[in-house]
Amino acid sequence: MHPSPLQDRFGRIHTDLRVSLTDRCNLRCTYCMPEQGLAWLPKPQLLTDDEVLRLVRIGTERLGIRSVRLTGGEPLLRRGLPGLLARMAALPSAPELSLTTNGVGLARVAPALAGAGLHRVNVSLDTLRRDRYQELTRRDRLPDVLLGLAAAQAAGLAPVKVNAVPVRGVNEDEIPELAAFAVAHGYRMRFIESMPLDAQGAWERERMVPAEEILERLRERFALEPVPRRGSAPAEEWRVVGTGAVIGVIASVTRPFCGGCDRVRLTADGQLRNCLFATEESDLRALLRAGADDPAVEAAWRASVAGKGPGHDIGGAGFRRPDRPMSAIGG
Protein backbone atom coordinates (compact mmCIF):
# COMPACT_ATOMS: atom_id res chain seq x y z
CA MET A 1 0.00 0.00 0.00
CA HIS A 2 1.30 3.45 -0.90
CA PRO A 3 0.59 5.87 1.95
CA SER A 4 -0.70 9.34 1.21
CA PRO A 5 0.87 12.10 3.33
CA LEU A 6 -0.58 13.11 6.65
CA GLN A 7 -0.90 16.80 5.90
CA ASP A 8 -2.53 19.54 7.96
CA ARG A 9 -4.17 22.76 6.79
CA PHE A 10 -0.85 24.64 7.01
CA GLY A 11 0.82 22.19 4.63
CA ARG A 12 2.89 20.48 7.31
CA ILE A 13 3.45 16.81 6.57
CA HIS A 14 3.62 14.51 9.58
CA THR A 15 6.08 11.63 9.39
CA ASP A 16 7.12 11.24 13.04
CA LEU A 17 5.08 9.44 15.69
CA ARG A 18 5.87 9.57 19.42
CA VAL A 19 4.38 6.62 21.26
CA SER A 20 4.12 6.67 25.04
CA LEU A 21 4.31 3.12 26.35
CA THR A 22 3.52 3.92 29.97
CA ASP A 23 2.87 6.96 32.14
CA ARG A 24 4.78 5.42 35.06
CA CYS A 25 8.31 6.30 36.02
CA ASN A 26 11.01 5.11 38.39
CA LEU A 27 12.41 8.65 38.83
CA ARG A 28 10.73 11.82 40.07
CA CYS A 29 12.53 14.64 38.25
CA THR A 30 11.52 17.83 40.00
CA TYR A 31 10.71 19.63 36.72
CA CYS A 32 8.44 16.76 35.67
CA MET A 33 6.50 15.19 38.53
CA PRO A 34 5.90 15.41 42.28
CA GLU A 35 7.70 13.26 44.83
CA GLN A 36 4.72 11.01 45.43
CA GLY A 37 4.30 10.29 41.72
CA LEU A 38 0.96 10.62 39.95
CA ALA A 39 -2.28 8.68 39.72
CA TRP A 40 -1.06 6.12 37.18
CA LEU A 41 -3.38 4.92 34.45
CA PRO A 42 -5.08 1.63 35.32
CA LYS A 43 -3.76 -1.26 33.20
CA PRO A 44 -7.01 -1.94 31.30
CA GLN A 45 -6.84 1.61 29.96
CA LEU A 46 -3.37 1.10 28.49
CA LEU A 47 -3.04 0.02 24.90
CA THR A 48 -1.99 -3.61 24.65
CA ASP A 49 1.03 -4.59 22.55
CA ASP A 50 -1.32 -5.71 19.77
CA GLU A 51 -3.09 -2.34 19.82
CA VAL A 52 0.16 -0.35 19.79
CA LEU A 53 1.43 -2.48 16.94
CA ARG A 54 -1.77 -2.04 14.96
CA LEU A 55 -1.61 1.75 15.27
CA VAL A 56 2.06 1.78 14.27
CA ARG A 57 1.19 -0.39 11.28
CA ILE A 58 -1.69 1.90 10.26
CA GLY A 59 0.53 4.97 10.70
CA THR A 60 3.39 3.59 8.65
CA GLU A 61 1.36 1.70 6.05
CA ARG A 62 -1.42 4.21 5.34
CA LEU A 63 -0.33 7.62 6.66
CA GLY A 64 3.33 7.97 5.77
CA ILE A 65 4.78 7.78 9.29
CA ARG A 66 8.47 7.00 8.85
CA SER A 67 9.92 7.29 12.33
CA VAL A 68 8.57 6.11 15.67
CA ARG A 69 10.02 7.20 19.00
CA LEU A 70 9.04 5.19 22.07
CA THR A 71 8.77 7.21 25.25
CA GLY A 72 6.76 7.66 28.43
CA GLY A 73 6.82 7.96 31.49
CA GLU A 74 9.75 5.60 31.45
CA PRO A 75 9.44 3.27 28.45
CA LEU A 76 11.90 0.71 29.87
CA LEU A 77 9.24 -0.05 32.51
CA ARG A 78 7.02 -1.51 29.79
CA ARG A 79 7.03 -5.28 30.11
CA GLY A 80 8.14 -7.19 27.05
CA LEU A 81 9.59 -4.09 25.37
CA PRO A 82 12.13 -6.02 23.22
CA GLY A 83 9.32 -8.24 21.92
CA LEU A 84 7.16 -5.25 20.99
CA LEU A 85 10.10 -3.57 19.27
CA ALA A 86 10.89 -6.73 17.32
CA ARG A 87 7.29 -6.84 16.07
CA MET A 88 7.50 -3.19 14.93
CA ALA A 89 10.82 -3.86 13.22
CA ALA A 90 9.30 -6.85 11.42
CA LEU A 91 6.45 -4.84 9.84
CA PRO A 92 6.80 -4.59 6.03
CA SER A 93 6.36 -0.83 6.59
CA ALA A 94 8.85 -0.78 9.50
CA PRO A 95 9.74 2.76 10.62
CA GLU A 96 13.02 4.02 12.01
CA LEU A 97 12.82 3.16 15.71
CA SER A 98 14.20 5.23 18.56
CA LEU A 99 13.67 5.46 22.30
CA THR A 100 13.81 8.23 24.93
CA THR A 101 14.74 6.91 28.37
CA ASN A 102 16.10 8.06 31.70
CA GLY A 103 18.73 5.34 31.26
CA VAL A 104 18.03 3.55 34.55
CA GLY A 105 18.11 -0.15 33.66
CA LEU A 106 19.40 0.54 30.16
CA ALA A 107 22.73 -1.24 30.78
CA ARG A 108 20.93 -4.55 31.17
CA VAL A 109 18.57 -4.29 28.19
CA ALA A 110 20.56 -2.30 25.61
CA PRO A 111 21.83 -5.41 23.74
CA ALA A 112 18.31 -6.92 23.64
CA LEU A 113 16.82 -3.65 22.39
CA ALA A 114 19.45 -3.34 19.65
CA GLY A 115 18.92 -7.00 18.74
CA ALA A 116 15.17 -6.39 18.49
CA GLY A 117 15.68 -3.63 15.92
CA LEU A 118 15.97 -0.38 17.90
CA HIS A 119 18.14 2.09 15.99
CA ARG A 120 18.87 4.98 18.36
CA VAL A 121 18.46 6.09 21.92
CA ASN A 122 18.18 9.42 23.77
CA VAL A 123 19.14 9.32 27.43
CA SER A 124 18.07 12.07 29.80
CA LEU A 125 20.81 13.23 32.13
CA ASP A 126 20.76 16.64 33.81
CA THR A 127 23.80 16.44 36.06
CA LEU A 128 27.03 14.48 36.52
CA ARG A 129 27.13 15.02 40.29
CA ARG A 130 25.71 12.17 42.27
CA ASP A 131 24.30 14.25 45.14
CA ARG A 132 22.70 16.68 42.71
CA TYR A 133 21.30 13.81 40.63
CA GLN A 134 19.68 12.44 43.74
CA GLU A 135 18.19 15.81 44.58
CA LEU A 136 16.98 16.42 41.06
CA THR A 137 15.47 12.99 40.37
CA ARG A 138 14.84 12.06 44.02
CA ARG A 139 16.65 8.75 43.37
CA ASP A 140 20.32 7.75 43.70
CA ARG A 141 20.70 6.22 40.22
CA LEU A 142 23.45 8.20 38.49
CA PRO A 143 25.88 5.24 38.27
CA ASP A 144 23.19 3.14 36.50
CA VAL A 145 22.61 5.87 33.95
CA LEU A 146 26.32 6.20 33.16
CA LEU A 147 26.54 2.43 32.66
CA GLY A 148 23.41 2.59 30.52
CA LEU A 149 24.94 5.21 28.24
CA ALA A 150 28.08 3.13 27.74
CA ALA A 151 26.04 -0.01 27.10
CA ALA A 152 23.87 1.77 24.53
CA GLN A 153 26.95 2.92 22.68
CA ALA A 154 28.54 -0.54 22.85
CA ALA A 155 25.29 -2.03 21.48
CA GLY A 156 25.46 0.31 18.47
CA LEU A 157 22.40 2.42 19.35
CA ALA A 158 24.12 5.40 17.73
CA PRO A 159 24.29 8.29 17.83
CA VAL A 160 23.63 8.10 21.56
CA LYS A 161 22.08 11.43 22.49
CA VAL A 162 22.15 12.92 25.97
CA ASN A 163 19.24 15.25 26.80
CA ALA A 164 19.53 17.77 29.61
CA VAL A 165 17.02 20.33 30.84
CA PRO A 166 18.89 23.19 32.53
CA VAL A 167 16.99 24.82 35.37
CA ARG A 168 18.18 28.02 36.97
CA GLY A 169 19.59 27.54 40.44
CA VAL A 170 19.62 23.76 39.97
CA ASN A 171 22.04 22.66 37.25
CA GLU A 172 22.62 25.54 34.83
CA ASP A 173 26.21 25.86 36.07
CA GLU A 174 26.88 22.36 34.66
CA ILE A 175 26.09 23.17 31.03
CA PRO A 176 29.77 23.19 29.93
CA GLU A 177 30.63 20.08 31.99
CA LEU A 178 27.74 18.09 30.56
CA ALA A 179 28.78 19.07 27.05
CA ALA A 180 32.44 18.20 27.73
CA PHE A 181 31.38 14.81 29.11
CA ALA A 182 29.34 14.07 25.98
CA VAL A 183 32.11 15.21 23.65
CA ALA A 184 34.67 13.07 25.49
CA HIS A 185 32.47 9.95 25.25
CA GLY A 186 31.23 10.44 21.72
CA TYR A 187 27.62 11.15 22.79
CA ARG A 188 25.61 13.91 21.19
CA MET A 189 24.61 16.51 23.76
CA ARG A 190 21.29 18.35 23.55
CA PHE A 191 20.00 21.00 25.90
CA ILE A 192 16.25 21.52 26.13
CA GLU A 193 14.50 24.64 27.42
CA SER A 194 12.17 23.68 30.24
CA MET A 195 8.49 23.89 29.37
CA PRO A 196 5.32 24.41 31.44
CA LEU A 197 4.49 20.72 31.29
CA ASP A 198 5.30 19.60 34.83
CA ALA A 199 2.51 17.85 36.69
CA GLN A 200 2.69 20.26 39.62
CA GLY A 201 2.17 23.41 37.55
CA ALA A 202 5.24 24.95 39.19
CA TRP A 203 7.06 26.00 35.99
CA GLU A 204 8.33 29.56 36.06
CA ARG A 205 9.69 31.34 33.04
CA GLU A 206 12.46 32.93 35.12
CA ARG A 207 13.85 29.50 36.01
CA MET A 208 13.93 28.35 32.40
CA VAL A 209 17.41 28.80 30.93
CA PRO A 210 16.90 30.26 27.45
CA ALA A 211 18.83 28.98 24.42
CA GLU A 212 20.79 32.24 24.18
CA GLU A 213 22.15 31.75 27.68
CA ILE A 214 22.87 28.05 27.11
CA LEU A 215 24.96 29.07 24.10
CA GLU A 216 26.75 31.79 26.02
CA ARG A 217 27.77 29.27 28.66
CA LEU A 218 28.90 26.78 26.02
CA ARG A 219 30.99 29.43 24.31
CA GLU A 220 32.92 29.97 27.54
CA ARG A 221 34.35 26.47 27.00
CA PHE A 222 34.06 25.69 23.28
CA ALA A 223 34.47 27.43 19.93
CA LEU A 224 31.19 26.71 18.13
CA GLU A 225 30.10 26.99 14.51
CA PRO A 226 26.47 26.55 13.41
CA VAL A 227 25.48 23.39 11.56
CA PRO A 228 23.02 24.18 8.74
CA ARG A 229 19.52 23.26 9.92
CA ARG A 230 17.89 20.17 8.45
CA GLY A 231 14.16 20.12 7.73
CA SER A 232 11.94 19.81 10.77
CA ALA A 233 14.61 18.83 13.32
CA PRO A 234 13.81 20.76 16.53
CA ALA A 235 17.44 21.06 17.64
CA GLU A 236 19.58 23.91 16.41
CA GLU A 237 23.02 22.42 16.22
CA TRP A 238 26.58 23.68 16.68
CA ARG A 239 29.80 21.91 15.80
CA VAL A 240 32.69 22.17 18.24
CA VAL A 241 35.31 23.68 15.94
CA GLY A 242 38.06 21.27 15.03
CA THR A 243 36.16 18.18 16.19
CA GLY A 244 33.32 16.08 14.82
CA ALA A 245 31.29 16.80 17.99
CA VAL A 246 27.88 18.38 17.61
CA ILE A 247 25.85 20.03 20.40
CA GLY A 248 22.14 20.74 20.01
CA VAL A 249 19.83 23.25 21.68
CA ILE A 250 16.06 22.78 21.61
CA ALA A 251 14.52 26.19 22.15
CA SER A 252 10.86 25.20 22.37
CA VAL A 253 9.98 28.31 24.37
CA THR A 254 12.15 31.13 23.03
CA ARG A 255 12.40 29.97 19.39
CA PRO A 256 9.47 27.66 18.76
CA PHE A 257 9.72 25.48 15.69
CA CYS A 258 5.99 24.84 15.24
CA GLY A 259 6.10 25.95 11.59
CA GLY A 260 8.16 22.90 10.69
CA CYS A 261 6.47 20.45 13.06
CA ASP A 262 6.12 16.92 11.65
CA ARG A 263 4.96 15.14 14.83
CA VAL A 264 1.95 13.40 16.19
CA ARG A 265 1.73 11.73 19.57
CA LEU A 266 -0.02 8.70 20.93
CA THR A 267 -0.54 8.46 24.69
CA ALA A 268 -0.21 5.17 26.55
CA ASP A 269 -4.01 5.03 26.79
CA GLY A 270 -4.47 5.39 23.07
CA GLN A 271 -5.29 9.10 22.68
CA LEU A 272 -3.89 10.76 19.59
CA ARG A 273 -2.56 14.29 20.19
CA ASN A 274 -1.68 16.53 17.28
CA CYS A 275 0.59 18.70 19.47
CA LEU A 276 2.48 18.44 22.77
CA PHE A 277 0.35 21.40 23.88
CA ALA A 278 -2.94 20.19 22.39
CA THR A 279 -5.96 20.62 24.64
CA GLU A 280 -7.98 18.05 22.72
CA GLU A 281 -7.33 14.40 21.96
CA SER A 282 -8.73 11.84 19.59
CA ASP A 283 -9.70 8.53 21.19
CA LEU A 284 -8.17 5.86 18.97
CA ARG A 285 -8.39 3.24 21.70
CA ALA A 286 -12.18 3.51 21.74
CA LEU A 287 -12.23 3.05 17.97
CA LEU A 288 -9.98 0.00 18.14
CA ARG A 289 -12.00 -1.57 20.91
CA ALA A 290 -15.27 -0.88 19.08
CA GLY A 291 -13.97 -2.98 16.18
CA ALA A 292 -13.19 -0.14 13.73
CA ASP A 293 -11.48 -1.19 10.53
CA ASP A 294 -8.20 0.33 9.31
CA PRO A 295 -9.83 2.98 7.05
CA ALA A 296 -11.93 4.23 10.00
CA VAL A 297 -8.85 4.55 12.22
CA GLU A 298 -7.00 6.26 9.39
CA ALA A 299 -9.88 8.73 8.95
CA ALA A 300 -9.92 9.63 12.66
CA TRP A 301 -6.15 10.12 12.59
CA ARG A 302 -6.36 12.39 9.53
CA ALA A 303 -9.19 14.38 11.11
CA SER A 304 -7.08 14.96 14.22
CA VAL A 305 -4.15 16.25 12.17
CA ALA A 306 -6.47 18.39 10.05
CA GLY A 307 -7.52 20.17 13.25
CA LYS A 308 -3.97 20.97 14.33
CA GLY A 309 -3.35 24.58 15.30
CA PRO A 310 -0.51 26.73 13.96
CA GLY A 311 1.55 26.44 17.15
CA HIS A 312 1.77 27.01 20.85
CA ASP A 313 2.24 30.37 22.49
CA ILE A 314 3.95 29.60 25.80
CA GLY A 315 3.77 32.64 28.02
CA GLY A 316 1.41 34.41 25.61
CA ALA A 317 -2.03 35.68 26.62
CA GLY A 318 -3.87 32.81 24.92
CA PHE A 319 -1.66 30.01 26.27
CA ARG A 320 -3.45 27.20 28.06
CA ARG A 321 -1.56 24.37 29.73
CA PRO A 322 -2.62 20.98 28.42
CA ASP A 323 -4.57 18.84 30.89
CA ARG A 324 -1.92 16.13 30.96
CA PRO A 325 1.67 16.62 32.11
CA MET A 326 4.64 15.70 29.91
CA SER A 327 5.08 12.30 31.57
CA ALA A 328 1.52 11.31 30.66
CA ILE A 329 1.67 12.70 27.12
CA GLY A 330 5.00 11.20 26.18
CA GLY A 331 7.90 13.62 25.87
Question: How many residues of this chain bind ligand SF4 (CB under 6 A)?
Answer: 12
Decide whether 63 or 192 has the Cβ nearer to ligand SAM.
Answer: 192
Instruction: Find the part of the chain contacting ligand SAM (CB under 6 A) among 195-203, 213-221, 234-242, 304-312.
Output: 195-203
Instruction: Find the part of the chain contacting ligand SF4 (CB under 6 A) among 25-33, 49-57, 180-188, 209-217.
Output: 25-33
Decide whether 28 or 119 has the Cβ nearer to ligand SF4.
Answer: 28
Contacting residue, 97, 234, 327, 329, with ligand SF4 by CB under 6 A? 327
Decide whether 102 or 274 has the Cβ nearer to ligand SAM.
Answer: 102
Q: Are strands 271-273 and 161-164 parallel, antiparallel or unpaired?
A: unpaired
Decide whether 74 or 281 has the Cβ nearer to ligand SF4.
Answer: 74
Q: Does 149 bind ligand SF4 (CB under 6 A)?
A: no
Q: Does 137 bind ligand SAM (CB under 6 A)?
A: no
Q: Which residues of 141-177 are buried (b: 16+ CB within 10 A; e: fewer)?
A: bbebbbbbbbbbbebebeebbbbbbbbeebbbebbee
Provide, rounded to whole angstroms, the least separation between the CB of residue 253 and ligand SAM: 9
Q: Please, how many CA atoms are within 13 Å of residue 136, restricted to the half-sphere of its CB?
A: 23
Decide whether 146 or 197 has the Cβ nearer to ligand SAM.
Answer: 197
Q: Does 194 bind ligand SAM (CB under 6 A)?
A: yes
Residue 288 to residue 175: CA distance in whole angstroms: 45
Contacts of 73 (CB under 8 A, 6+ apart): 20, 21, 22, 23, 24, 25, 268, 327, 328, 330
Residues 68-127 that bind ligand SF4 (CB under 6 A): 72-74, 102, 124
Residue 1 to residue 10: CA distance in whole angstroms: 26
Provide, rounded to whole angstroms, the least separation between the CB of residue 276 and ligand SAM: 10
Nearest Cα to Cα of residue 192 among 226, 161, 169: 161
Residues that bind ligand SF4 (CB under 6 A): 25, 27-29, 32-33, 72-74, 102, 124, 327
Residues that bind ligand SAM (CB under 6 A): 25, 31-32, 71-72, 74, 100-102, 124, 163, 165, 192, 194-195, 197-198, 326-327, 331
